[in-house]
Amino acid sequence: MNVGLEHYLVVSAVLFALGLLGVVTRRNILVIYMSLELMLNAANLALVAFSRFNNNLDGQVMVFFIITVAAAEVAVGLALIVALYRRRQTTHVEDLNLLKH
Amino acid sequence: MSILTSILGLPLLAAVGLAFVPRDYRFVMRLVALGATAASALLAVLLFLKFPGAGVNADGYRFVQQIPWVESLGISYYVGVDGINLGLVLMGAIVAFAAACCSWNINMREKEFYVLLLVMSGGILGAFASLDLFFFYFFHELALIPTFIMIGVWGHGERKNLATFQITLYLSIGALIALVGLILLYVQSGANTFSIPALTRHIQENPMAPGSQNLIFPMLLFGFGILVSLWPFHSWAPLGYGSAPTATAMLHAGVLKKFGLYGLIRVALPLMPEAAHGWMQFLAWLCLGNILWCGFTAMRQRDLNLLIGNSSVAHMGFIFLGIASLNLIGVTGAVLVMIAHGFLAALTFGLSGYIRQQTGTLEMSELGGLLRKLPFVGAALVMAAMAGCGLPGFANFAGEVSVFFGAWQNEALRVVMVFAVWGALVIGAVYMLRAVRAVLHGPVADKWNDVSDATNAWRKLPFALLLASLLAFGFFPRLLSEKIKPDAEKIVMMVNAARPLTPALSAAEADSEEAHAAARSRDTATEGN
Amino acid sequence: MHLQTLPWIILFLPLLAAVVITLFTQRDRKTSATLSISAIVIGFVLTVIFIKANSFNPEVKEVSLNWLDIGPLQAEFGLRLDALSLMMLLVVTGVGSAIHIYSWGYMHEDRCFSRFFASLSLFTFSMLGIVMANNFLQMFISWELVGVSSYLLIGFWYEKASAADAAKKAFITNRLGDFGFMLGILIVWAALGSLNFGKLEAGLADNPAALGSLATLGGLLVFCGAMGKSAQFPLHVWLPDAMEGPTPVSALIHAATMVAAGVYMLSRTFFIYTPEALQVIAWIGGCTALLAALVAVQQNDIKRILAYSTLSQLGYMVMAVGLAAPEAGMFHLTTHAFFKALLFLGAGSVIHAMHHEQDIWRMGGLCKKMPVTYWTFMVGTMALAGVWPLSGFFSKDAILAAAWHHSMPLFIIGVGVAALTTFYMFRLVFVAFLGGERSHEVGHAHESPWVMTWPLRILAVFSIVGGVIGVEALFGGMLHPGGEHPHGLAAQLVYPFKHAPVAALSGLAAFGIGLFAAWTLYARAKEDPLPARIGTLSRWMRDRFYFDELYEATVIKVHDATAAVVDWFDRWLIGFAAVRGSAGATSLFGNVLRFIQSGSLQAYAFLLVLGVAVILFFVLGR
Amino acid sequence: MNVLILKHEITLLLLALGVMLADLWLPPERKRGLGYLASAGVGAILICSLLTSVPESPFAFRQMYVLDGMALFFKRFFLVATILVLLMAVEFSDRIQAGISEYYSLILFASAGMMFAASANDFALLFVALELITVTFYVLVSFQRGRATSLEAGVKYLIIGALSSAFMVFGIAFIFGTSGSFNFGDIAAKLASPEAGLVNNKLFLFGLLFLLVGLGFKIAAVPFQIWAPDVYQGAPTPTTAFLAVGSKAAGMVLLMRVLFVAVPEVTAQWWKLLVVISALTILYGNLCALPQTNIKRLLGYSSISHAGYLLLGIAAATTAGQSAVLYYLSGYLFTVLAAFVVIVLVLRDTGAEEISSLAGLHQRSPLLAAAMTISMVSLAGIPPLAGFFGKLLLIKSALVVGAEHQSFYWLVGIAVVGVVISLAYYLGVVRAIYWGGEAAEKSAVTLSLPATLTVAACLVGILFIGIYPNPLMKAAEAAVLSFK
Q: In whole angstroms, what is the distance from residue C560 CA to residue A71 CA?
A: 81
Share of chain D above pLDDT 90, in %: 67
Residue of D nearest to C621 (CA): D202
How much is the pLDDT for A1? 64
- The verdict on residue D332 lying in a domain is yes
Across residues D397-409, what is the average pLDDT?
A: 90
pLDDT at residue B510 tops 60: no
C601 lies within 8 A of chain A by CB: yes
pLDDT of residue C484: 67
Instruction: Report which of residues C525 and B259 the model is more confident about.
Output: B259
Output the average pLDDT for chain A. Answer: 90
**Residue D340 falls inside a structural domain:** yes
Q: What is the pLDDT of residues C558-599, one digit of tens each?
A: 888 888 888 888 888 887 888 888 888 888 888 888 888 888
What's the CA dihedral at A92, A94, A97, A99 to 10 degrees?
A: 80
Q: Which residue of D has its CA nearest to B190?
A: D400
Quote the pLDDT of residue B349.
92
Task: Report yes or no: C503 and C397 within 8 Å, Cβ to Cβ.
Answer: yes
pLDDT for A63 equals 93
Q: What is residue B52's DSSP assignment? A: G
Residues of chain C in contact with residue D209, where contact means CB-CB under 8 angstroms, are 612, 615-616, 619-620
- Partner-chain residue, chosen from D142, D182, D234, that has the shortest CB–CB distance to A58: D182
pLDDT band at B107 (very low <50, low <70, confident <90, very high): confident
**Burial group, residue C188, by CB count within 10 angstroms (0-12, 13-18, 19+):** buried
* pLDDT, mean of residues D147-158: 91
Residue D23 lies in a domain: no
pTM, entire model: 0.90
pLDDT of residue B342: 93
Residue D464 lies in a domain: yes
The confidence score (pLDDT) of residue D29 equals 82
| Whether D2 contacts D57, CB under 8 Å | yes
Instruction: State the first-to-last Cα distance of chain A, in angstroms, to the nearest integer.
Output: 54
For residue C255, pLDDT beyond 70: no
Per-residue pLDDT tens for B174-225?
A: 999 999 999 999 988 888 899 999 998 898 888 888 888 888 999 999 999 9
The separation between the first and the last C-alpha atoms of chain B, rounded to the nearest angstrom, is: 39
Q: Which of the two residues, B509 and C374, has the higher pLDDT score?
A: C374
Let me know if residue A101 belongs to a domain. Answer: no
Q: Give C382-401 pLDDT, tens digit per residue.
A: 888 888 778 888 888 888 88
Of B76-80, B105-109, B237-241, B255-259, minimum mean pLDDT range: B105-109
Work out the end-to-end distance of chain D between its first and last CA atoms, rounded to an integer number of angstroms: 23
- Under 8 Å between Cβ of D32 and D39: no
DSSP state of C75: E
Interface residue of A5, A28, A61, A96 to substitute, partner D, most D CBs within 10 Å: A96
CB pairs under 8 A between B and D: 86
User: How many domains is chain D built from?
Assistant: 1
Is B13 within 8 Å of chain D by CB?
no
Kindly list the domain boundaries of chain B, sorted by start residue. Answer: 3-515
Facing D173 at nearest CB: one of A23, A47, A56: A47
Residue A67 resides in a domain: yes
Chain C 104-163, CB below 8 Å of chain B: which residues? 137, 140-142, 144-145, 148, 151-152, 155, 158-159, 161
pLDDT number for residue C487: 72
Q: Does B434 reach chain C within 8 Å, measured CB to CB?
A: yes
* pLDDT score at C258: 83
* C437: alpha, beta or left? (left if phi > 0; alpha if psi -120 to 50): beta
Which residue type, as a one-letter code, is found at position B152? G
Contact status of C575 with chain B (Cβ, < 8 Å):
yes
Would you say residue D182 lies in a domain?
A: no
* Mean pLDDT of all residues in B104-131: 89
- Give DSSP secondary structure letters for A10-29: HHHHHHHHHHHHHHHH--BH
C614: closest chain D residue by CA: D223
Indicate yes or no: CB of C570 within 8 angstroms of CB of B297.
Answer: yes
Task: Among B382-391, B518-527, D335-344, name the one with the lowest average pLDDT.
Answer: B518-527
In the prediction, which pLDDT does B505 show?
Answer: 40
**Which residues numbered 168-227 in B keep a CB inside 8 Å of some CB on C?**
169-170
With a cut of 60, say whether residue C196 has pLDDT above it. Answer: yes
Cα–Cα dist D134/D230, whole Å? 16
Q: Confidence class of residue A41 from pLDDT cuts 50, 70 and 90?
A: very high
Q: What is the mean pLDDT of chain B?
A: 86
Nearest-Cα distance to chain C for D35, in Å, is 34
B499 has a pLDDT exceeding 60 = no
Strand partners, D1: none
Closest by CA to B281, choosing from B440, B154, B438, B413, is: B413
Portion 403-432 of D in contact with B at CB < 8 A = 403, 412-413, 416, 419-420, 423-424, 427, 430-431
Average pLDDT for D275-301: 93
What's the domain count of chain A?
Answer: 1
Crossing angle of helices B395-409/C136-154, nearest 10°?
Answer: 140
Residue C520 CB contacts under 8 Å (≥ 6 apart), including other chains = none
Range with lowest mean pLDDT among B342-351, D298-307, D362-371: D362-371
Which residues does chain C have within 8 Å of residue D210's beta carbon, measured at their own beta carbons?
612
Residue C109 burial (CB < 10 Å; 0-12/13-18/19+)?
Answer: exposed
Decide the pairing of beta strands C73-80 and C62-70: antiparallel
CB B317 within 8 A of CB B420: yes
Rounded CA-CA distance B424/B390 in Å is: 7
Distance from CA of B216 to the nearest CA of C (A): 24
Stretch D400-404: mean pLDDT = 88
Residue D128 above 90 pLDDT?
yes
- How far apart CA D409 and CA D399 sit, in angstroms, is 6
For residue D67, pLDDT over 80 is answered with: yes
Per-residue confidence (pLDDT) for residue C53, from 0 to 100: 83
pLDDT band at B512 (very low <50, low <70, confident <90, very high): very low
What CATH number is given to the structural domain containing A81? 1.10.287.3510
Residue range(s) defining the domain that contains residue D302: 270-484
